[in-house]
Amino acid sequence: MKGLIDLVNQLHQKEIHFKSITDNVDASTPAGRFFFQVMASLAQMERELMAERTKVGLAAAKAKGGVGGCKRKMTQSKIDSAKQLLASGTLPKDVAKNLGISVPTLYRWIPASTDG
């Protein structure tokens, strides 16, 4: 946002006036520049608050033993089942379908060289 404000100020110094057609903000007037900067400041504050809330949420989850992000699709029991199915000759695509995962996910957890 700071970059956008600096750009508008540079344009103003060159007597080029920014005007937002969709928001009806005319930066060629003192009131327009004020409104533009207030809106830019509010947008920046909202981004900073969102980042702060995210950090607090991740810290709270970590304190409860979580690690953040999505829950892993592969559990130890699924890994064990996949190894047994692969060892018995079941095709990897069938194992993946049975476990509700993709073949790349299967190979991420059980590399092809150790599947049997």
27 and 55 together in one domain: yes
9 and 51 together in one domain: yes
Residue 20's H or E segment, with its range, is: strand 19-20
The answer to whether the beta carbons of residues 110 and 79 sit under 8 Å apart is: yes
Q: What is the pLDDT of residue 115?
A: 47
Q: Which tens digits make up the pLDDT trace of 75-96?
A: 899 999 999 999 999 999 999 9
18 and 51 together in one domain: yes
Checking if the pLDDT of 116 tops 50, the result is no
Q: What is the pLDDT of residue 84?
A: 93
Q: Which tens digits make up the pLDDT trace of 25-73?
A: 888 888 888 888 888 888 889 999 999 999 998 888 888 887 767 777 7
Q: What is the pLDDT of residue 1?
A: 67
Q: Which are the contacts of 18, defined by CB distance < 8 A and separation ≥ 6?
A: 8, 11, 12, 25, 27, 28, 36
In a domain, 69, yes or no: no
CATH of the domain at 104: 1.10.10
- For residue 22, what are the domain limits? 2-63
